[in-house]
Amino acid sequence: GGNCGQNCCDPGDYLDIGDRDGAAVNVGMLAGHEFFRRQAGAADKYAHTTPGQRAAMADAIATALDRGCAGLSYGIRYVPGIDREELLATAAPCRRDGKFIAAHIRSDAEEVFDAARELLDTGRELGIPVELSHIGSMAGFGQMERFLAMADEYKMNGLDVSCDCYPYYAFSTTLGSTTYDEGWRDRYHCGYDVVELCEGKYKGRRCTREIFDELRRDD
């Protein structure tokens, strides 16, 4: 749990509840970078963080790792204000116990290579394992063979690299997310009708320009 930088509550508290009450399945929890970014007062997802905010995030993340989180997750696509300084500062607490960083990387399709290198180079610089999240869609636009070869190159040079992949051939996110910022149709070479609405008054319908504009504005 806790993928893409998102926690619905403090992940250490969540693990404590699991320890107390039990769970129907085994649970591994990631500390969500975006959760701790907001707690540090960095509300603007497009803006860079200050040194003080980065220090506060690093302290909180270190505590979450000490409380049992298996690693740290990022949603770099969803918080494009993350820069190299923020990645290094927030991932550094993973070094102590060799815990890993995972991310929905900054971009996909033909932009997936530079986006992956950003995360892979962070792991290599800090000497910690890296997991590339839901790679079946991130490199699923004709880039998979080249992408896996690139990941193998890092692996052969000593970095512990893994990928996770969900078992369906689309992706799911909110229309208000940065995935649908200006330029998304050019990136995916598509029209509005490739988007199927999964909730709300348009549930089950294919998107149109009018529906898209309404939901981006109001939802």
Q: What is the pLDDT of residue 178?
A: 95
Mean pLDDT of the region 137-159: 95
Cα–Cα distance for residue pair 183/181, rounded to 1 Å: 6
Q: 219 pLDDT exceeds 90?
A: no
Q: Give the count of alpha carbons within 13 A of 107, CB side only.
A: 15
The mean pLDDT value of the chain amounts to 96
Q: What is the pLDDT of residue 186?
A: 94
Q: What is the pLDDT of residue 169?
A: 75
Mean pLDDT of the region 87-115: 97
Do residues 170 and 206 make contact, with C-beta atoms less than 8 angstroms apart? no
Query: Residues 120, 122, 126, 130: is their CA dihedral positive or negative?
Result: negative
pLDDT band at residue 62 using 50, 70 and 90 as cut-offs: very high
pLDDT band at residue 85 using 50, 70 and 90 as cut-offs: very high
Give residue-wise pLDDT tens across range 150-194: 999 999 999 999 999 988 778 889 999 999 999 999 999 999 999
Q: What is the DSSP letter of 206?
A: B
Q: What is the pLDDT of residue 171?
A: 87
Structure tokens that stand for 9 in this block: 């509550």
CA triplet 105, 107, 108: central angle to 5 degrees? 105
pLDDT band at residue 15 using 50, 70 and 90 as cut-offs: very high
Mean pLDDT of the region 83-106: 98
Cα–Cα distance for residue pair 1/69, rounded to 1 Å: 10
Structure tokens that stand for 97 in this block: 């116990």
Residue with the two structure tokens 């512990």? 160
Cα–Cα distance for residue pair 26/28, rounded to 1 Å: 7
Q: What is the pLDDT of residue 147?
A: 97
pLDDT band at residue 86 using 50, 70 and 90 as cut-offs: very high
Under the phi-then-psi rule, with left for phi > 0, alpha for psi from -120 to 50, and beta for the rest, what region is 218? alpha
Mean pLDDT of the region 127-135: 96
